[in-house]
Structure 1
Amino acid sequence: MQKYLLFHSPRPPAHYQLLKISNQERKSGDRKENMEITMSERDDDIIVTQSSHCFPPPPLSTLLISLKIFLTNKQTFFSIYALATLPLSFLLFSLSLLAHGVKSHVYHLEAMALHSPTRFEARHVWKESRADALSVLKLKAFFFIPNFLLSLVAAVTAVSSTVSACQAQRPTFLSSLNAVKLTWKRPSVTTIFVYAISLLYAQLPRTLAALTGSPGPELLVLLIGLVFEIYLMAVLNLGLVVSIAEDKFGWEAIRNGSGLMAGSRISGWVFSGLFVLVSGEIAMDQEKIIDGQDFSLESSKSTVMKGVAIGVKNKLGLIFLYGVVMLWSYIVNTVFYCECRKRHIVRGVAECVVTV
């Protein structure tokens, strides 16, 4: 019951109305101040909680999130698999099958040249070996353009779809194809940097191991080189994801990816090592299949096509499996990027609050 009702007047006096209004304003002002204090304390609690839990997510958690994203968007990722990663796996397997026999012949000729009794015979063998090596290069050049285009489409569609899913959006195959039209230049340039860095590093451990001169240190150098190579692959993979998800490319994208991995480099190394292990097992199984398919490029077209068909038929499941591994690696690396990006933003906000 309000105070002015005690006078039983249908309309309270003006000074009572002013007193009531001033009391209400004072109460509302106190209520706003209390709400602001409560909200500020709550914000501080959130920032402290987020910063206190700012640690690298375990690899298992990232894998589970990746699986959830894949199952939630099965239709989109199945389309990417059928139109990009599976054809890419088929082309890579066919290239290995065709080039295996010629490379084996090249190695055989090089061994013969080293043990030739005369210089004339050695020169003739080296000439034949160079001709076969040139044939292998031509074969790889023939497969390069379709392999590059399919790998570009697979990477951009898978990464863009996973980024959209991490942002609580529903990706579609058409939206992922639209991302290819918008962002194909950045990952193309970044891929060139990735290949260049990989080729330069590939010779470094062997060179350092050869300089040691003894088996023990040589094995140690090769082991350290392998561990660092797996880490380098993790950085390069994350840099490729950055070039697709952000407006960066080339060395800037790789450097930004390395910075995002701060605090979670072990997780990145684990993911990279896991995919290296799985792809290595597939490659070893593939070598066992194509060992019996040693035909050269001088063989007739029917012989070549028959050999490729037999190899594909014998390990059709291997081709499907490698396509799944490629798609899964794109999804996991993108989820890992999103986790690193969120953690980086939270860490920056916490540092700003502490500074203020």
Structure 2
Amino acid sequence: MDEIQVETQAQSSSKIIAKSLKILAKNFTLLITITALTILPLSLLLFSLSLSTRPLATEISRKQALVAWLAPSAITRHVIREIRSDSLKLLSLKFIYFLPSYILSLSSTITVVRSAFIAHNGKTPTLESAITAVKKTWKRPLVTSLYVYFVKLLYDNAVNVCYAFPVKWVVVVLVTSCFRVLWFYGAAVLSMGMVVSVVEEREGMDALKTAFDLMGGRWFCGWLLGGLQVVLTGGIGYVFMERKGGFVDGVFLVLMFCFVVLVGYLINTVFYFECRKCLGREKVDGI
């Protein structure tokens, strides 16, 4: 890709963001209602999970590091039993949060994408149309989300494996950095795959393959948009966990997170249409 193409796709990214914000402005009441019903409780659950599991996860990591230095003994076996017990507690906590978080995540994706789909076609979305979309299409995004989860799991494990190799830290940092940079594009493909499963009769690997094909000629634009969403959501989450402020700061960060997630859904939907437009397949029958 030459310099002109890179510049063109960078400009295209800014236009996609502008179109997304325009959809938000025109359908502000509806999208804020959807956010209050789905994205806000989802965000509260995610931050609550992070706060609940962090002390336990830190304790497990500390004990694992300790075991690595201890010689085999009764003390070592006792520490290993504690690690297993703590790990079960951690899994139990995550399981408690999983189902409500999953339902809210799926609902927010379908309702916002469907509303953006209608708005992009020049019509006015309603709360009723958003709810109808959930009833009609939940199976397709559900199947696709399982594939998305599997790919994310592979990525997380690949990064963790890099840290496990006994090589120089410079090499580890370099390799993991490459993984993270590539993940920006991967995140964009997975996000568009979810959009495809909402607005087309596709699901699972078929939806992800369609998303990959659509983004074929616009990989840099997808990389920018995907990277922006990953950095912003990850950054807000990091600041929230490390913050020294009080309740007001926490509320502000949660609301910021909700806004980024909402706009992210809109960006993914608009980007989907732009990719189809470039391939001469702008018309979508939809649901």
TM-score in terms of structure 1 length = 0.72
Question: Displacement, 1:325?
Answer: 1.1
Question: Displacement, 1:197?
Answer: 1.2
- Could you tell me whether the CA contact under 8 Å between 1:212 and 1:218 is conserved in 2? no
- Could you tell me whether the CA contact under 8 Å between 1:209 and 1:217 is conserved in 2? no
Alignment of 1:193-208 (within 5 A): 193-205=147-159, 207=161
Match of 2:263 in 1: 328
Alignment of 1:191-230 (within 5 A): 191-205=145-159, 207=161, 213-230=167-184
Counterpart pick for 1:146 among 83, 100, 108: 100
The question of 1:122 aligning with 2:87 is answered no
Alignment of 1:336-355 (within 5 A): 336-345=271-280
The question of 1:109 aligning with 2:63 is answered yes
In 2, the alpha carbon distance for the partners of 1:167 and 1:175 equals: 14
Secondary structure of the equivalent of 2:216?
coil
Code of the aligned partner of 1:114: A
Question: Displacement, 1:151?
Answer: 0.4
Question: Displacement, 1:110?
Answer: 2.0
Alignment of 1:128-277 (within 5 A): 128-205=82-159, 207=161, 213-277=167-231
Secondary structure of the equivalent of 2:217?
coil
Code of the aligned partner of 2:274: E
Match of 1:353 in 2: none
Secondary structure of the equivalent of 1:263?
helix
- Could you tell me whether the CA contact under 8 Å between 2:143 and 2:204 is conserved in 1? yes
In 1, the alpha carbon distance for the partners of 2:163 and 2:145 equals: 28
| Count of residue pairs brought into register by the alignment | 275
Match of 2:31 in 1: 77
Secondary structure of the equivalent of 1:243?
helix
Provide, for residues 33-60 of structure 1, a one-character-per-residue CA deviation record: whole Å limited to 9, x for no partner: xxxxxxxxxxxxxxxxxxxxxx857111
- Could you tell me whether the CA contact under 8 Å between 2:13 and 2:225 is conserved in 1? yes
Question: Displacement, 1:114?
Answer: 2.9
In 2, the alpha carbon distance for the partners of 1:111 and 1:211 equals: 15
In 2, the alpha carbon distance for the partners of 1:207 and 1:107 equals: 15
- Could you tell me whether the CA contact under 8 Å between 2:188 and 2:226 is conserved in 1? yes
Code of the aligned partner of 1:112: L
- Could you tell me whether the CA contact under 8 Å between 2:119 and 2:125 is conserved in 1? yes
Match of 1:316 in 2: 251
Larger radius of gyration: 1
Question: Displacement, 1:208?
Answer: 5.8
Counterpart pick for 1:95 among 49, 63, 68: 49
Provide, for residues 198-217 of structure 1, a one-character-per-residue CA deviation record: whole Å limited to 9, x for no partner: 11133335546766944444
In 2, the alpha carbon distance for the partners of 1:135 and 1:116 equals: 24
Question: Displacement, 1:125?
Answer: 0.9
TM-score in terms of structure 2 length = 0.89
Provide, for residues 263-318 of structure 1, a one-character-per-residue CA deviation record: whole Å limited to 9, x for no partner: 111111101111111112212212214xx8xxxxxxxxxxxxxxxxx976651111
The question of 1:278 aligning with 2:208 is answered no
Over the aligned positions, Cα root-mean-square deviation in angstroms equals: 2.3
In 1, the alpha carbon distance for the partners of 2:259 and 2:281 equals: 33
Question: Displacement, 1:137?
Answer: 0.4
* Percent identical: 35
Q: Which runs of 5+ in 2 are unaligned?
A: 1-7
Cα 1:214/1:314, change in 2 over 3 Å? closer
